Each structure stands twice: as C-alpha cells, then as structure tokens.
Structure 1
Amino acid sequence: MYKLMLVDNDSERTDSLESALAAIGYAPIIRVGQHDNLLNAVRTHQPDIILIDMQSPDRDTLESLRNVSRETPKPIVFFAEQSDLETTRAAISAGVSAYIVDDLPNKRLKSVLEVAIARFQDHQKLKEELEDYKSRLQDRKDVDKAKGILMQHRNLTEEEAYQLLRKMAMDRNMKIGEASRNFVAAMALLGGKF
C-alpha cells in the first residue's frame, strides 16, 4: 500500500480528506503543514504520493514542488479550490501529476490517485529514456572525436581507431564513451588541438 503525505493547513479539510483516503484503503498518512519545508519532509518521511489541498498554489508552494520533483520525484496530486490556466500550467510545470479544481472528489478519489500515479510513472519513464538517449548520443560524439584524433595522429583507419578505443575501455573496465572522454581530455592536456 502507498504511504501518502498530506499537505494542508486547514485541519477540517485535512480531516475530511484523510477520512476519504482511509475509506479507500490509503494509509498511513503523514500530515505536513503548508508552510513546512516540503523537501525536508519528503526526505524525512519518504512518501509514495504527495497530496496538497489548498485554495490555490502560491509561488512558494510551486517552488517547493519544483525542488521535490527535481530532487526526489513523487506523484503529486493537487486539490485546489480555484485556479486559472496560468496557475494550472505553473503547477504542472512544477511536477504536479494531477491538478483537481473544485471540491474533493470523494467518489473519484481512488481513480484520481491511480491516474496521477500512472501519469507520474509514464513521465518518469520518458525522462529516463530521454536521459539514456542523451547519454548515448554524447558517448557517440566522444567516440567519434577520439577516433578522429587517433586516425590523425597514429595514421589509423576508422575501424582500427575504434578497436583501439574499445581495447582501452575494456582494459580499464570502462564504457567506451567514458574511455573516449578520458582520452580526449588527456590529449587536450598534452596540448592537442582538435
């Protein structure tokens, strides 16, 4: 079962939401005040999901959400009593997975949480794929640069340069991209211009 963190200063609203969550099987619930340091609370309690219930997100809340999303990403569900397009966009940009405006959807609460979790997981997967793609692209650029240096300075063919880099990487128990970066950096220190 998921561990939830509930952020709100209105105890009556918090009690209501906590009761609705308990009724659909979500517990334990950690309560945090709206003005508490959200990032520290997330680090301390390690919730699986963060729920925020307030009138409308202010600048400090949005900044706190950005910090959480950057440092320790979690599905975030924001229940707001009022909103406008700009505020909604700012909340989504800050890492909110679901932004619900109006009264608490007690009948739909479980599906709202499930959608937020699924959306968060999809977003994280896309983020990881993008980072992997960027890393592989950078590795390829570094390998090509290192091959070019070897081909120029040692009169090797492209295949011979690649095999030499590959052997260097294997001998040092590194990925070829990392070995290529180290090689290019070493050549730069020796005064190579490329």
Structure 2
Amino acid sequence: MYKLMLVDNDPERSASLEAALLNAGCYPIIRVGANEKLLHAISTHQPDIVLIDMQSPDRDTLESLRSVNREMPKPIVFFAAQSDMETTRAAINAGVSAYIVDDLPSKRLKSVLEVAIARFQEHQKLKEELEDYKIRLQDRKDVDKAKGILMQHRKLSEEEAYQLLRKMAMDRNMRMGEAARNFMAALALLGEMP
C-alpha cells in the first residue's frame, strides 16, 4: 500500500479522515499540521501521496503546493470544505491531482486516491515527454547552427559537416546537440564565433 501523509490543523477533522483512510485499508499514515513547511515535511517523511484537509486553500498553501510540484512532485489530494471555480483552478494549477469539496464517503476514498495517483503519473509522463521534445528541438537547432559554421569556415558540404559533428560526439560519448554546443562554445572562447 501507499505511504500517506495527512496534512491538517484540525485534530478532529484529521482524526475523522484518518479513520476513513484506515477503514479503506490505507496505511501507513503520517500526520502533520498545515502550519508545517510542506516541502520540508515531504522531504522528511517521503510519502507516496499527500492528502491535505482544510477549509479552502489559501495563498500560502497554494505557493507551498507549487514548490512541491517543482521540487518534489507527489500526487496530492485536497479535501476542501468549501470552494469556488477560481480556487479549484488555482489548486489544480498548483499541482493538486484531485480536489474534493465537501465530505467524501469513505467507500469512495480508495478509488479517489487511485485516480489521483493515475492522474499524477500521466501528468508526470507528459511533462517528461515535453521536456524531452524541448531538448531534442534545441539539439536540432544547435546541430544545424554548428553545421552551418563548419560548412562556411571549412568549406564542407552539409553531409561532411554533419559527419564531423557526429564523429566528435561519438569520440566524446555525448549527444549531437551537446557536441554542437561544445563546438560553438570553443569557437566563442577563441573569438571566432560568427
């Protein structure tokens, strides 16, 4: 099962949610207060999923959620007693995987956690694919620029310039984009960058 971290300042509400989680077979559960630094608590306890139970997310909570999403992303389920569309949207944009308003029947709790985890994993996969695409696009631009410089200065064909960069990358055990950036950085150091 997943290691859960329950964040709540209201001991009675927290105990009620913890009982529902235990009843649904969810444990171990780490309880922390909402006033604790969220990123530090996650770093310390290393939960698999974070549950936050409060009236409504305030500005500080949303900023903490953004920090967690940047630094140490985790599936986050937010239980709010009240909300509006703007607050819900802000919470989702801050990295919340599931945003539940009002009481949740304990029989649906486990499925909500599973959906939040699946949504989080899909979001992480999309973020990784986007980052990979950005890297490949930048590599392509840098390779084209380096090829252009080689073609101009060494009077090479495009294929010859490409093969030269490819050999440089293979000799140094690096990606073509890295080789192109290293080549251009060396030219810049020598003052020969066009």
Normalized against structure 2, the TM-score is what? 0.98
Superposed, which structure 2 residues align to 1:88-103 within 5 Å? 88-103=88-103
| Structure 1 residue 135: Cα displacement | 0.4
Superposed, which structure 2 residues align to 1:155-194 within 5 Å? 155-194=155-194
1:46-90, Cα deviation, whole Å (9 max, x unpaired): 000000000000011111111001000000000000001110011
- Assess if the C-alpha contact under 8 Å between 2:7 and 2:51 holds in 1: yes
| Structure 1 residue 173: Cα displacement | 1.2
Distance in 1 of aligned mates of 2:64 and 2:36? 10
Identity of aligned residues (%): 81
| Structure 1 residue 8: Cα displacement | 0.2
Q: Across the two proteins, how many residue pairs are aligned to each other?
A: 194
Tell me the secondary structure at the aligned position of residue 107 of structure 2.
coil
How big is the alpha-carbon RMSD for the aligned residues of Structure 1 and Structure 2? Answer: 0.8
Superposed, which structure 2 residues align to 1:1-80 within 5 Å? 1-80=1-80
Tell me the secondary structure at the aligned position of residue 77 of structure 2.
strand
1:68-127, Cα deviation, whole Å (9 max, x unpaired): 010000000000000011100110010000000011331211111111011001100000
The residue identity in structure 2 corresponding to 1:79 is F
Distance in 1 of aligned mates of 2:67 and 2:183? 36
- Assess if the C-alpha contact under 8 Å between 1:17 and 1:104 holds in 2: no
- Structure 1: runs of 5+ lacking an equivalent: none
Structure 1 stretches of 4+ with a deviation exceeding 6 A read none
Distance in 1 of aligned mates of 2:127 and 2:136? 14
- Assess if the C-alpha contact under 8 Å between 1:6 and 1:32 holds in 2: yes
Check if 1:109 corresponds to 2:109.
yes
Tell me the secondary structure at the aligned position of residue 106 of structure 2.
coil
Partner of 2:124: 124
Normalized against structure 1, the TM-score is what? 0.98
Check if 1:137 corresponds to 2:164.
no
- Structure 2: runs of 5+ lacking an equivalent: none
Distance in 2 of aligned mates of 1:69 and 1:124? 10
| Structure 1 residue 193: Cα displacement | 4.1
Distance in 1 of aligned mates of 2:34 and 2:142? 47
Distance in 2 of aligned mates of 1:25 and 1:108? 12
| Structure 1 residue 169: Cα displacement | 0.8
